[in-house]
Structure 1
């Protein structure tokens, strides 16, 4: 409603996602191609829009041939309902497989990947980041502030830190080693006279195109805007990165890996 009433559609970049096929769809013989169409049409109806700028495959669908998904997405682009396509929660080899299939058949390729990446979880740097750089694919990571852990001083809490069990599942096991990095974020924030949010996002903006950041009040938005203007020195970046140790995959990717 906000987009319809207060903004010009062409001034907004609108993205939405779709999930893998359900058990019911598989049982009823709904193909990946039809699944993409059904999900997109339902999203457009809910949004009250004719098209979305970026349509994102929420995670790799292990029970559906990727060829069907790519064909469905290409149909959406050709129909003018989608301007570009992206993927989330996948491995670099999967992104390569999908895009090489699309390239071989003259179809739309994934132009962005939305993975789990922040200052205390940097596993995307192993293969995904160099692959995306080589292929000119944008990285738009989620959990940019590690569910608030990179925006609060050690010992400081919040409702989300206390109640978000999924985030606890992702971060609690590495809290001790992550705390060393969080301490350095707090130290640099004090030195620079800014918030920890601004330091953590300024670092991330040296690595990626556009991090996904949630905001529930105006101060959050102010912090996000300020981070764009904050330029860290090479020494500051190295200082923030130096304590990092390898992490096991968590969340969706840990389930997929298993």
Structure 2
């Protein structure tokens, strides 16, 4: 396993982050097997992955609980545990969002489920239009000051929102976001015209979610065929949203490079992302040991500049449609 630093911080993280959204029972495509989920986390750590990402809202706390059980016997000093706050955890007032009350309530609940007294990386899952960013940053700063959180991060917002948050931290002397978690892959490149320039200029680490576009870039789907039952493509309209002519052209290029390198399309897609200077560690979401090993082997795939350009060529980065 190779390690890198999270943005401008001194925090060392594996070049692949294990995404833990699949560990739960909220959706039929999830693992739905607690013991198998724990075994897969142990296997990832044995392969050198020290960076695990979850969220309180994933299966309404079940993912955090599984991660907590899995890491109970691990060396906490080496692990980087990341979780998130924002989503709805219960009906009623203050059950979601980024108010000071909700953040302070939820961090304690997350710590309890994770079985730890601190979170290495605490991220706001979305921008909260109903809470002043000053209130959110003040609460997060308090968590760092009191030792319950080591670093803070953000996910999925506009460049303006993220820039406003960073500059507010600078002006008010609050803890600054150390990383951003955007959607980014060879077929989802709109953040190249939005968040990624901000991250690069501000020294913010980038940990992309859905680096394989919900499985589209693994090559499991065909241009002229319907997704097989049991796949995310069959269950999720968001995955089928990748089924455009432009994206099929990207996948054709990925498959061609994979054949040249004696690698799988998934490995080439991850290697392409790792070639982007702004990227710190893609968040992988394997559901089997085979997929985990395939993903980790992507670290050994080196692409030429020409191959990187060929994969990028069919798409022009642009803002997503409203």
Residue 2 of structure 1 is aligned with which of 70, 73, 76? 70
CA distance in 2, matches of 1:45, 1:167: 33
Give how far 1:229 is off: 1.7
In the other structure, the counterpart of 1:195 is: 264
CA distance in 2, matches of 1:93, 1:103: 15
Moved more, 67-76 or 15-24: 15-24
In the other structure, the counterpart of 1:107 is: 174
In the other structure, the counterpart of 2:31 is: none
Q: How does 1:55-204 map to 2 (within 5 A)?
A: 55-152=122-219, 154-155=221-222, 157-158=227-228, 159-168=231-240, 170-172=241-243, 175-204=244-273
Question: Greater relative contact order: 1 or 2 (C-alpha under 8 angstroms, separation 6 or more)?
Answer: 2
Rate the CA distance shift 1:82–1:59 in 2: closer, same or farther, 3 A.
Answer: same
Give the alignment's TM-score, normalised by structure 2: 0.72
Residue 312 of structure 2 is aligned with which of 236, 241, 245? 241
CA distance in 1, matches of 2:251, 2:292: 21
- The SS at the match of 1:84 is strand
CA distance in 2, matches of 1:104, 1:119: 36
8 Å contact from structure 2 (residues 86, 98) kept in 1: no
CA distance in 2, matches of 1:185, 1:31: 39
Give how far 1:104 is off: 1.2
In the other structure, the counterpart of 2:8 is: none
CA distance in 2, matches of 1:116, 1:200: 14
Give the gaps of 5 or more residues in structure 2. 1-68
Give how far 1:118 is off: 0.4
Give how far 1:15 is off: 0.5
Which structure dedicates a bigger proportion of its chain to helix? 1
CA distance in 2, matches of 1:120, 1:20: 26
8 Å contact from structure 1 (residues 153, 182) kept in 2: no
Rate the CA distance shift 1:96–1:23 in 2: closer, same or farther, 3 A.
Answer: farther
CA distance in 2, matches of 1:201, 1:102: 33
Give how far 1:161 is off: 1.8
Give the alignment's TM-score, normalised by structure 1: 0.88
